[in-house]
C-alpha cells in the first residue's frame, strides 16, 4: 500500500540513512522549507504545502496548497490532515524533529492524532525512529540498535511488560512525571526485545546510532 511521506524543514544530516526507508511509490508531501531536502532525498514532490514564510513559493502551483501565514495548524500538521483526507493509512514524517523544540513536540504529539485516526506512523531522524504504541499492541525491537526508550507523553501507562532486554519489567507503570524507561538495550542478537502495555500509550524511541 502506498505510504504518505511528509517532509518538514528540520535539519537532516544523514540523507543516506533516511533514503533506506523510502520507496519509489511513496507519496511525498513537502512542507514549505522542507523543499530544501528534495534533491538530497532523490524524490520529487507529489504535493507541496506551506505558507512560504521560510521558502520561496514555487512558480508552478499545480501541485501546491498555499496556506495563510496566520492559521491554527503548522504546515506539517496541515499536511498530516491532508494525507488523512486523501486516504493514506501509513505515514512517515522526516525533517520533523530537531531545530525548534516547539515544532518538534507538536510533531511528536501528532503521532497521537494519527493513532487516534487509525493510522500507522513513524518519525525518522538522523539517529532515531519514533512511533507510538498503545494498549493491546506488542512491539518488537531488533538487535543492532544502540538503545531504545519508552516515554509516556500523556496520562498513565499501565501493565507495561518488557522482555528480551537488559532491563525487563512486568506489569509496570510509567507516568509523565517520572520517565524511567530511557536507554534500554536489546539483550541478544538471537531474540528481539518485546514491549507491550495494557493501558495508555507510550512513545517507543529506537536510537540507531
- Identify the residue with better confidence: 59 or 6: 6
> How far, in Å, CA of 155 to CA of 202, rounded?
10
Percent of the chain with pLDDT over 90: 89
Q: How far is CA 40 from CA 17, 29, 53, 86, 143, in A?
A: 11, 15, 22, 26, 29
Cell of 32: 514549505
CATH class for domain 4-126? alpha beta
CB-based contact 46:63 (threshold 8 Å): yes
- Give φ, ψ of 131 to 5 degrees: -140, 165
Q: Which residues contact 55 (CB under 8 A, 6 or more apart)?
A: 9, 32, 33, 34, 35, 36
Q: Provide the pLDDT for residue 58.
A: 83
Q: What are the residue boundaries of the structural domains of the chain, listed by start?
A: 4-126, 132-207
Is the pLDDT reported for residue 91 higher than 90?
A: yes
Q: What is the pLDDT of residues 10-62, one digit of tens each?
A: 999 999 999 999 999 999 999 999 999 999 999 999 999 998 887 888 877 88
Confidence of residue 99 (pLDDT cuts 50, 70, 90): confident
**Helix or strand run (H / E) with residue 193:** strand 193-196
C-alpha of 11 from chain center: 15
Q: Provide the pLDDT for residue 59.
A: 78
Q: Provide the pLDDT for residue 149.
A: 98
CATH number of the 132-207 domain: 2.60.120.320
Tell me if residue 25 falls in helix, strand or coil.
Answer: coil
Amino acid at each position: 500500500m502506498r505510504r504518505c511521506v511528509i517532509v518538514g524543514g528540520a535539519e537532516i544530516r544523514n540523507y543516506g540513512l533516511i533514503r533506506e526507508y523510502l520507496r519509489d511509490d511513496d507519496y511525498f508531501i513537502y512542507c514549505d522549507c522542507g523543499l530544501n531536502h528534495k534533491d538530497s532525498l532523490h524524490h520529487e514532490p507529489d504535493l507541496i504545502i506551506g505558507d512560504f514564510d521560510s521558502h520561496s513559493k514555487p512558480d508552478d502551483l499545480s501541485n501546491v496548497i498555499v496556506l495563510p501565514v496566520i492559521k491554527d495548524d503548522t504546515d506539517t500538521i496541515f499536511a498530516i490532515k491532508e494525507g488523512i483526507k486523501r486516504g493514506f493509512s501509513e505515514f512517515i514524517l522526516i525533517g520533523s524533529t530537531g531545530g525548534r523544540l516547539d515544532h518538534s513536540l507538536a510533531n511528536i504529539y501528532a503521532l497521537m492524532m494519527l493513532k487516534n485516526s487509525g493510522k500507522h506512523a513513524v518519525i525518522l531522524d538522523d539517529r532515531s525512529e519514533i512511533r507510538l504504541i498503545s494498549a493491546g499492541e506488542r512491539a518488537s525491537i531488533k538487535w543492532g540498535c544502540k538503545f531504545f526508550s519508552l516515554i509516556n507523553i500523556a496520562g498513565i501507562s499501565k501493565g507495561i511488560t518488557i522482555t528480551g532486554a537488559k532491563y525487563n519489567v512486568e506489569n509496570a507503570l510509567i507516568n509523565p512525571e517520572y520517565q524511567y524507561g530511557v536507554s534500554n538495550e536489546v539483550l541478544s542478537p538471537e531474540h528481539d526485545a518485546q514491549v507491550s502495555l495494557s493501558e495508555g500509550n507510550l512513545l517507543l524511541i529506537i536510537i540507531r546510532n
